[in-house]
Structure 1
């Protein structure tokens, strides 16, 4: 799928090396490998690093894909994880990110732009490319995101920006449906 400059491809065994390039040697942050929401805290801590990487590698061989790798021309520079809300048990239990209603949603749980390409305005492009990609999926109607909304001119840090930045989602057309905390909106986008 194409936006202005970014294309995306599903994470599969064929795109695994590109995913590793984006995640870097630390697996994104602290050995996460984008398993933060998919595992209990005990499982995540136990698997930190190689264990979490092995979990994600197994997901990459299944269907549906757990996310997409973003490319700037042919260079892998971004990642977006998504899945049915039920795929994220830790999110289901979170007082901050628990479901706000019974509407079935596909959660955009993690977005990452590779170092060296941050602050280039690529996050809205990545979100738009993910929306375009998921539009072709018949069973998905509503996307839900849980970005940080930095207040008072503060910048989001690596530990809380993994879910994206609210302004980038607004640019693409997501709208706020709840705000469980001052700096954490729940935002949705209809694919229909």
Structure 2
């Protein structure tokens, strides 16, 4: 498939809510998560009705804090989402063995932002949307004072049969192309990557 060239990326607090709903859809993992997994404990995740998650994301978008992500457009068509926020906003990251094994910066440092999730609509995959989303996420984080951007991608060279559901973190190659470097390799098929914006 050809790479899409007419892509733009916007902070999610500057776009209509209906565009967010279109990207997350009505079925599959995105429609059941609405990027709340990394913000909840296991008990909260298991106990809360899934239909509440869309309302929670909308409240987070409307809050007077930096938007929790960016949306990609092909022309006027919303085609993808990337979650990016200060790392302390993602309470689950503190408990994840992958992150803990990295032994990296103070997990409460709000100048470290984290990219946790990509959603690209069916029909627009493998056409450069994720790359555009990552670039937009970096610019969004930079505009709000991020010092470091961190992510937890899958190395498909080590896990060649990774499903699209497994790749919501993004593939390692995507981050390497964007200038991220491997800061830790807690598992053979997973990495912690970082992009330093300031020293």
Q: TM-score with structure 2 length normalisation? A: 0.85
SS of residue in 2 equivalent to 1:54 = helix
3-state SS of 2:182 partner = strand
Give the 3-state SS of the residue equivalent to 1:158 in structure 2.
Answer: coil
Partner residue of 1:154? 160
Contact 1:23 1:33 in 2 (8 A): yes
Q: Is the 8 A contact 1:85 1:92 kept in 2?
A: no
Q: Which position in structure 2 is the counterpart of 1:180?
A: 186
Q: Deviation of residue 71 (structure 1)?
A: 1.0
Contact 1:28 1:34 in 2 (8 A): no
Unpaired runs of 5+ residues, structure 1, are: none
- 8 A contact 2:71–2:78 mirrored in 1: yes
Q: 1:113 aligns with which of 110, 115, 120?
A: 120
CA-to-partner distance for each residue in 1:17-41, whole Å, 9 max, x for gaps? Answer: 1111001013743611111101112
> Contact conserved, 1:6 with 1:126, CA < 8 A, in 2?
no
Q: CA deviation at 1:68?
A: 1.0
Distance between the aligned counterparts of 1:173 and 1:153, measured in 2? 22
RMSD: 2.1
Alignment of 1:24-35 (within 5 A): 24-26=25-27, 28-29=29-30, 31-35=32-36
Q: Is the 8 A contact 1:10 1:65 kept in 2?
A: yes
Write the deviation string for residues 141-191 of structure 1: whole angstroms up to 9, x where unpaired: 110011111135714213321111111111111110001111110011122
Q: 1: CA distance between counterparts of 2:29 and 2:14? A: 18
User: In the comparison of the two structures, how many residue pairs are matched?
Assistant: 189
Is 2:138 the partner of 1:135? no
| Larger proportion of helix | 2
CA contact (8 A) 1:77 1:117 kept: yes
1:16–1:60 CA contact under 8 A, matched in 2: no
Does residue 39 of structure 1 match 2:40? yes
Structure 1 residues 14 and 78, CA gap change in structure 2 (3 angstroms): closer
**1:9 is paired with a residue of what secondary structure?**
strand
Q: Cα distance 1:40–1:152, how it changes in 2: closer, same or farther (>3 A)? A: closer
- Alpha-carbon distance between aligned partners in 2 of 1:126 and 1:29, rounded to the nearest angstrom: 16
1:27, 1:53 within 8 Å by CA — same for their partners in 2? no
Q: Indicate the SS of the match to 1:43.
A: helix
Indicate which of 69, 72, 93 corresponds to 2:95.
93
Whether the aligned pair in 1 keeps the contact of 2:39 and 2:90 (CA below 8 Å) is yes
Return closer, same or farther for 1:30/1:78 CA change in 2, 3 Å cut-off: closer
Tell me by how many angstroms 1:4 deviates: 4.8
